[in-house]
Amino acid sequence: MQNKISQYTAEINAFQSAHAEEIETFRIRFLGSKGIIKDLFEEFKTVSSEEKRIMGKVLNELKQLTEAKYQSLKEGLNTVTETFKTEADLTLPGQGIELGSRHPISLVRKEIIEIFKKLGFNVTEGPEIEDDWHNFSALNFPEEHPARDMQDTFFVSLNPTLSKGEGEEAFALRTHTSSVQVRMMENGQPPFRAIMPGRVYRNEAISARAHCFFHQVEGLYIDENVSFADLKQTLFYFVKELFGDDTKVRFRPSYFPFTEPSAEMDISCTICKGTGCPLCKQSGWVEILGCGMVDPNVLENCKIDSQKYTGFAFGMGIERITNLKYQIKDLRLFSENDIRFLQQFQSELI
Ligand code: PHE
């Protein structure tokens, strides 16, 4: 009998379960009216009176142990069902939560914004559907400028029965975020110091090098006595922060309707460091942005005194900068949602 009791004690101590049926089976087996404890008490009647003195105590302890075990198992079960109200097997491993990653365009946009914020630039946004004034006319585009042509611009008709020029104001998907600069200048007074990140649209055939939409960050700085030297220093700082101290910069004269003088800015090729490679077409230089001093006509269009204020503006494509930073050769990758491409930026999660 002594042996049996120690065996049962070990078994009861080891028993664990979070299932109602198993706990009930345990109860019936040990504490039921035909259960093990009952049987042991029957057997107890047959032992000698000398043995009874020892076995009585041991047997009572076993009974108490079993009852306590049953109570605690039942309590455990109640809290589990109250919390989760489920019959599911809670011991199964869970389903892992997959971590997403930031899109490379978002990563680079954030990096560009952070750099200009350090120079005191605010972030301003505007609508993607623009009227002719904000996208073109206020920016000094002449009536016959080719950018207004259907080949470059997606026009939007609010009344599909009318064609362009038929008494309806022309709306377009903005072709650059310079439109946001106009909105900002119209709605406030200098000084202005802001950057405008956003998506822009151009009617181009989709290929590895061109897309019908892409992303820009443009910038505007208007105050008294702002000069081309300020423009250069701002962009020098930007390039060194983004691409590193050893990056070289050069300006080439250019033309934009809204800036005078205008320039395009190149940096030394990030791949070959200026020695010549396919990316820079062996020239050692890659163009990254357009810039210039804001044309006085644009200031006047926005009711800003061009005698008192001057300023500079610049604009760059985020895709181009991303290509240079991560050596992505095909623009289409950015909008195909190919998880194998996007997952490579996992480690960049911020
Ligand atoms: N708006 C020009 C573009 O989209 C970029 C630019 C901005 C150039 C400001 C000069 C000054 O190409």
Residue type, 296: P
Distance CA 151, CA 161 (A): 21
**CA atoms of 243 and 241, how far apart (whole Å):** 6
Q: In sequence order, which residues have a C-beta less than 8 Å from that of residue 233 and are 6 or more positions away?
A: none
Q: Across the strands, what pairs with 78?
A: none
First to last CA, the chain: 67
pLDDT confidence of residue 127: 97
pLDDT score recorded for residue 152: 84
Amino acid present at 23: I
Question: Cβ atoms within 10 A of the Cβ of 45, count?
Answer: 7
Does the predicted model carry a pTM greater than 0.75? no
User: Atom 5 in ligand 1: which residue has the minimum CA distance?
Assistant: 315
Q: Is the dihedral of CA 272, 275, 277, 281 positive or negative?
A: positive
Distance 235 CA to ligand 1 centre (A): 14
pLDDT of residue 157: 78
Distance 345 CA to ligand 1 centre (A): 29
Helices in the chain by DSSP H: which ranges? 2-14, 20-31, 36-46, 49-84, 104-118, 132-135, 178-186, 228-243, 296-301, 318-326, 339-342
Query: Angle of helix 104-118 relative to helix 318-326, nearest 10 degrees?
Result: 100
Return the pLDDT at 160.
Answer: 65
Distance between Cα 196 and ligand 1 center (Å):
11
Spans of the chain, pLDDT less than 70: 80-86, 150-151, 160-169, 346-350
Distance CA 1, CA 145 (A): 106
Question: CA quadruple 181, 254, 121, 196: dihedral positive or negative?
Answer: positive
Backbone angles phi, psi at 145, to 5 degrees: -60, 135
**Strand, coil or helix: what is 5?**
helix
Q: Give, for ligand 1, the residue of 256, 293, 318 to mutate: max count of ligand atoms closer than 8 Å to Cβ.
A: 256
Taking the centre of ligand 1 as the mean of its atom positions, its distance from the CA of residue 178, in whole angstroms, is: 7
Residue 92's pLDDT is 86
3-state DSSP call for residue 273? coil
Rounded to an integer, what distance in angstroms lies between the CA atom of residue 222 and that of residue 190?
Answer: 6
Which residue has the least CA distance to atom 2 on ligand 1?
Answer: 315
Question: Which of 322, 313, 326, 343 is CA-nearest to residue 138?
Answer: 313
H helix or E strand, kind and range, residue 256: strand 249-256
Pocket of ligand 1 (CB under 6 A): 176, 178, 218, 256, 259, 290-292, 313-315
Structure tokens at 160: 């599909």
Atom of ligand 1 nearest to the CA of 178: 1
Question: Do 196 and 218 meet the contact criterion of CB atoms below 8 Å apart?
Answer: yes
In this predicted structure, what is the pLDDT of residue 188? 95
Nearest alpha carbon to residue 151 among 235, 99, 72, 212 = 212
Of 270, 249, 246, whose CA–CA distance to 314 is shortest? 249
Euclidean distance between CA atoms 255 and 257, whole angstroms: 7
SS3 assignment, position 162: coil
